[in-house]
Structure 1
Amino acid sequence: MTLKVELKPGERIIIGESMITNDDQRTRLYIEGNAPILREKDILTVDSANTPAKRIYLAVQLMYLSQEVTKFQDNYFSLIHDIMLAAPSTIPFVAKISNYMIADQLYKALKEARALIDHEKKIFAALNSASAEGK
């Protein structure tokens, strides 16, 4: 099955182990094969992984891009342990991420990790709201 990707001018994409930067015009790529692919908007860097959920996303991203789950699994297990203790409402998200990883569906695990980040934002917003009301 062929994946069609349209890139905006200057947009970047990772295909396999290569970062590709589009020129100054819109481009359409047709990609065949099994290489991991991430668009720029889905790429998280070490510097931008500044919350527990983002660090989990980064761990899953590294597993997906390298296709080496075992290399990053100790870090992943440590991160999910901490987030589940701190925020039990994250357990369903972590369970889905882990199940996708077990099924070797790392891209789906990555998408679920994105949902975990969204959930974490809601937790932080609720905490900030409660804190503001308490003042």
Structure 2
Amino acid sequence: MALKLRLKPCERVVINGCVVQNENRRYTLTISNFAQIIRGSDILQEEDAVTPVRRAYFLIQSMLLDPATAAVGSGTVAEMMAQLYTTFTRPDIQDRIAGAMGHVGERDYYKALSALRPVMEYEGTLLSAANPAPPVPLQASPAVRIDRHAGG
């Protein structure tokens, strides 16, 4: 079954390590056989890989983009995923992590990344609840001044 990618204007996609960028209009690209594909909007920058789930996502993404990383990264990603599995207690999140690891074992890295996206969102929710933003100090409202004019 072919994969149809509907690209937005100027959208990028990486196919087997090759960056393809669309022109200024919508375009549909059909991929007829298996290829390692990731949309530009799904790419996580290294400096944003600051949490355990994001680091695992970034490593799997690196495995998708670079076959050399895929050859050496599978052991590391297996350890990371095992730690994540035992850290999270929600069954649906554990299922996503296990699914992602299964996809990594099949070398279907895009599906692994797709499985991890909800886990990243859940991790973000937990971290924001644990570290709420500091309260914004209230600014004093400007003083209301009433001018009374005599005799008017």
SS at match of 1:89: coil
Q: 123, 138, 143: which is aligned to 1:120? A: 123
Aligned-pair CA distance for 1:66: 3.5
SS at match of 1:20: strand
CA contact (8 A) 2:56 2:80 kept: yes
SS at match of 1:33: coil
Residue 94 (structure 1) aligned with residue 69 (structure 2): no
- Tell me what 1:76 maps to: 77
- Tell me what 1:39 maps to: 39
Structure 1 residues 61 and 24, CA gap change in structure 2 (3 angstroms): same
Structure 1 residues 4 and 80, CA gap change in structure 2 (3 angstroms): closer
Structure 1 residues 99 and 35, CA gap change in structure 2 (3 angstroms): closer
Larger radius of gyration: 2
Aligned residues: percent identity?
28
More helix per residue: 1
Residue identity in the other structure for 2:130 = L
> 1:21 & 1:103 partners in 2: Cα distance?
28
1:83-118 superposed Cα distances (whole Å, 9 cap, x missing partner): 567x44377143332233234443322212212201
Structure 1 residues 104 and 123, CA gap change in structure 2 (3 angstroms): same
Structure 1 residues 81 and 17, CA gap change in structure 2 (3 angstroms): same
Structure 1 residues 3 and 80, CA gap change in structure 2 (3 angstroms): closer
- Tell me what 1:48 maps to: 48
SS at match of 1:47: helix
Gaps of 5+ in 1: none
> 1:57 & 1:122 partners in 2: Cα distance?
17
SS at match of 2:28: strand
Residue identity in the other structure for 2:59 = A
Gaps of 5+ in 2: 135-152
Report how many aligned residue pairs link the two structures.
131
Residue 59 (structure 1) aligned with residue 59 (structure 2): yes
CA RMSD after TM alignment: 2.8
